[in-house]
Amino acid sequence: MKGLLVTFEGIDGCGKSTQVELARRMLSQKGIACLVTREPGGTPTAERIRDILLSPDNAVSDECEVLLYFAARAQHVREKIVPALDKGVTVLCDRFALATFAYQGYGRGIPMRVLKNMNRFATGGVEPALTFVFDIGVDAAFLRLKKTGKRPDRLEASGRKFYKKVRKGYRELARKNPGRIILLNGGTGIDDLADIVGGKIIRKLRMKQ
């Protein structure tokens, strides 16, 4: 594919969404075509699935949860991500497959081999060229979330024990794939993180040319 898929990961409250926006601004200033999207979501159908997954009013089993995530991803990849990549656009995605491996794999305890097979089917083999994981302690993340004043969504209400498992998952997954997955200290200054992220994206784009 002509374009570049870059994904931003980490537990809720890690600051990834801020870095997605800063990366978009940087690329736009350089005249590089980019698209910002998110998971679950990114298309009308996938956004409806997102509402089901995140509403704290819904009772969703672990098995239903993972299937809904993959359903949303399958639509997202085919309707939005692949067409953009085919046009040479750099796609910045707030969460992707690594989130499933961390949240549903390490967090929910669903076997990784099952998740990887399902993800391969859902994505058709589409993988990020670069993934950033913003690592932050669970207590610090919960404090950030509390300051927003918003009602916790269904995942955020899972508690600290769950999020410690998810954070461990992200860290271990990053260490197993050091070339593609970049583990960053989420407590670093916003601008300093943006400089690191921007530099690595630009280098990856140059390598692709």
Please report which residue ranges of 82-189 form alpha helices under DSSP H.
82-86, 97-100, 112-123, 138-148, 160-176
Residue 87 has pLDDT above 80, yes or no: yes
What is the reported pLDDT for 97? 98
pLDDT at 149: 84
Whether the bond between 178 and the residue before it is cis, its omega within 30 degrees of 0, is no
Task: Report residue 54's pLDDT band, with 50, 70 and 90 as the boundaries.
Answer: very high
Q: Is the pTM of this model over 0.85?
A: yes
Name the average pLDDT for the chain.
96
Residue 147 confidence (pLDDT): 87
Three-class secondary structure of residue 48 per DSSP? helix
- Give residue limits of the domains in the chain: 4-208
pLDDT at 28: 97
Which numeric CATH code is attached to 4-208? Answer: 3.40.50.300
pLDDT-derived band at 150, boundaries 50, 70, 90: confident
Q: State the DSSP H helix or E strand holding residue 93, giving kind and residue range, or none if neither.
A: strand 90-94
* Residue 209 confidence (pLDDT) above 80: no
Encode 85-104: b = buried (16+ Cβ within 10 Å), e = exposed: beeebbbbbbbbbbbbbbbb
Residue 208 has pLDDT above 90, yes or no: no
pLDDT beyond 80 at 1: no
Residue with the bigger pLDDT between 201 and 150: it is 201
